[in-house]
Chain A
Amino acid sequence: MSEIKLDKVHKSFGSVEVLHGVNIDIKDGEFVVFVGPSGCGKSTLLRLIAGLEPITSGDMYIGEKWVNDLSPVDRGIAMVFQSYALYPHMTVYKNMAFGLKMGNQGKAEIEKRVRNAAEILQLTPLLARKPSQLSGGQRQRVAIGRAIVRDPEVFLFDEPLSNLDAALRVQTRLEIAKLHQELKNTVVYVTHDQVEAMTLADKIVVLHDGNVEQIGSPLDLYNHPANLFVAGFIGSPKMNFFEGRITSIGKGQAAVKLADGKETVVPVEGAHLGVGGKLTLGIRPEHLELEVSSGGPVVGGHVDVVERLGDVSYLYVRANGDAPFIASLPGTSDVQPGTEISLGTDPIHVHVFNENGNAITNARNPAL
């Protein structure tokens, strides 16, 4: 069994604390993605799990073992680096066999494992080549192969796709997903790309400034972001935020005056709110519609740019008195840049955040 448990893990470099007490439970066989903007501590966290950096305080368990002081090998992990880190003077075969040789495996066993991994990753014709004779995608596969042959309990991936071009990235992403379905190992994967996170993960851990902001399934995070940061980070294009002040509170709803002066009613439990308090409404671009009928908030402005992608069109709207926002309309809509526009949404799709940026339950759709 190879579940991973992090308990109040702190990490400091000198006097700078980069991780402020991280608690994460990763189940056996789970594909977990750490996601966050650069500098949020996600790579550091991965290196702590790998054992390449010592933990400043806290406890870490892999399987049943307390691993704080164990070396990378003894933790049963294999890591794939962002830069691939292939040994440049060794052939592909030797690159994959090197770690096994150190583990005192028999020659036949090594040969079998390397051939097997090469088969899975379609590297067999390349076994005699040096890394410098490989393309980026091939190098990446060798790096993954080097991890596979060791048959580790836990795979660690540190932004493995960020050096690949867009097409290869999508392809390799699929391969990694397939690989995980085949091997069923526990995987911890670090990325700054929320699309990678959404597509690969069983569970996403959103990190920000060394804190865990939210842990949940991809759809959990999309549908119920716990705070403004997660709401803004997950989803593409980003969620739009509109600030407003509460003008009155009723049963299961509150009236909010938005920055453009319009008033709207949002379905929230008002128990913890006070009149005059600040609220932020979050509406995803894909939930904004041209037909305004459902009684939800209405936002309007001047269309600056229209990006037509075929299936959808992105409207960049300069709002009346608030920050600019983006709307995602069906590709068939023929809104022209330079026109004035008014967009609405069903109250069900409105995310409401209080002054501290934390989400407040939507009363009309508690599941949301």
Chain B
Amino acid sequence: MNKKHLSAGMVHTLLLSYTLLALWPIFLVLINSFKTRKAIFKDPMAIPTVETFSLVGFDKVLARSSFDIYFSNSIIITVVTLTLTLLIGAMAAWALSEYKFRGNLLMGLYLAIGIMVPIRLGSVSILNLIVELNLTNTLTALILVYTAQSLPLTIFILSEFIGQIPKDLKEAARCDGVSEYKIFFEIILPLIRPAIATVGIFTMVPVWNDLWFPLILAPGEEARTVTLGVQQFIGQYVTDWNAVLASLTLAIIPVMILYIFFSRQLIRGITSGAVK
């Protein structure tokens, strides 16, 4: 009797059932977005048939609302936040793990606190700050807040990875006369690409999905994000399920694309052959 290891079959069953559980709501959203309103209510679990098939939700979302603006807003916010977070985060992680300076440890601790304390606790002061900076109803406000929110974890994870890069590599580069910036961009960054991809996915999802900050910082029509835009279909008395489900379905697409882009970077064993 080998009790230590679950059999491969058990592991697969467990993982498969979890996958099913996780994908079920998404599946429901997908199938129902292609059904008529009646069919959604009559049998939410049914797959769209010839009679129940309808694109009325997509029509409403794409043709009769400003969803193109919401979409581009969401995409701009997510992409700019990602770029800023990954660039600044990686540089800060490199500085914190490579250079020994006064306050190095303190700075690391300060950032660790950022991981532990949820940024939403500071919503009121953030709102005050944004109002004073005249940034309400702008994408900049959201980008700044999201970047601040994502940086601590990014720096924490990336400095671990940078710490694992063999010291000899950096020293070899220094002997070669490579400047510190070049070492970072041409040696360190390519080597932590898998880590950056992981952190990218971690950062992207909450930013894309967030409702809170768009609601309080940028509720205006021009700066509205997809998640906030969906809310206009959810009324106090009537909810336009066709439109809600259609917009959610559409909202999956950009995240999927970004995910595929990042996951291709997750090449394992990229440092093999560096040393020994």
Contacts and interface: CB of A to CB of B under 8 A. Distances in A.
A292 to B, nearest CB: 50
Interface of A: 50, 52, 71-73, 77-79, 81-89, 98-99, 102-103, 130-134, 136, 139, 146, 150, 163
Given A83-B166, A85-B166, A89-B190, A72 B174 contact: yes
Contact of A87 (B169, B171, B175, B179): B169
B252 to A, nearest CB: 33
Interface string B101-113: 0000000000000
Interface stretch (B20-28, B211-219, B233-241, B265-273): B265-273
A81 B175 CA distance: 11
B270 A79 contact: no
Interface of B: 166, 168-169, 171-179, 182, 186-187, 190-191, 269-276
A85 B168 contact: yes
Across chains A and B, which 3 residue pairs bring their CB atoms closest together, nearest first? Answer: A132-B273, A99-B176, A73-B177
B176 A88 contact: no
Contact of A98 (B178, B270, B274, B275): B178
Contacts of A72: 174-175, 177
A131 B171 CA distance: 18
A88 B270 contact: yes
A134 B187 CA distance: 19
Nearest to A78: B175
B174 A84 contact: no
A136 B187 CA distance: 21
A128 to B, nearest CB: 14
A131 B274 CA distance: 7
Contacts, number: 87
A153 to B, nearest CB: 13
Given A52-B174, A77-B175, 7 more contacts: A50-B175, A79-B172, A81-B168, A81-B171, A83-B168, A132-B273, A133-B273
5 contacts: A72-B174, A79-B175, A87-B169, A102-B177, A146-B172
A102 B176 contact: yes
B272 A163 contact: no
A130 B190 CA distance: 14
A135 B271 CA distance: 15
Contacts of B182: 102
Nearest to B179: A102
Contacts of A77: 175
A146 B176 contact: yes
Contacts of B270: 88-89
A77 B273 CA distance: 24
A98 B182 CA distance: 11
A198 B191 CA distance: 39
Contacts of B191: 88-89
B169 A85 contact: yes
Contacts of A73: 174-177
Contacts of B176: 73, 78, 98-99, 102, 146, 150
Nearest to B176: A99
Contacts of A86: 172, 273-275
Contacts of A163: 276
Contacts of B172: 79, 81, 85-87, 146
B98 to A, nearest CB: 13
A81 B271 CA distance: 17
B273 A134 contact: yes
B178 to A, nearest CB: 5
A71 B178 CA distance: 11
A100 to B, nearest CB: 8
Given A89-B190, A89-B270, A52 B171 contact: yes
B108 to A, nearest CB: 20
Contacts of B178: 98-99, 102
Given A89-B270, A102-B182, A84 B175 contact: no
B177 A84 contact: no
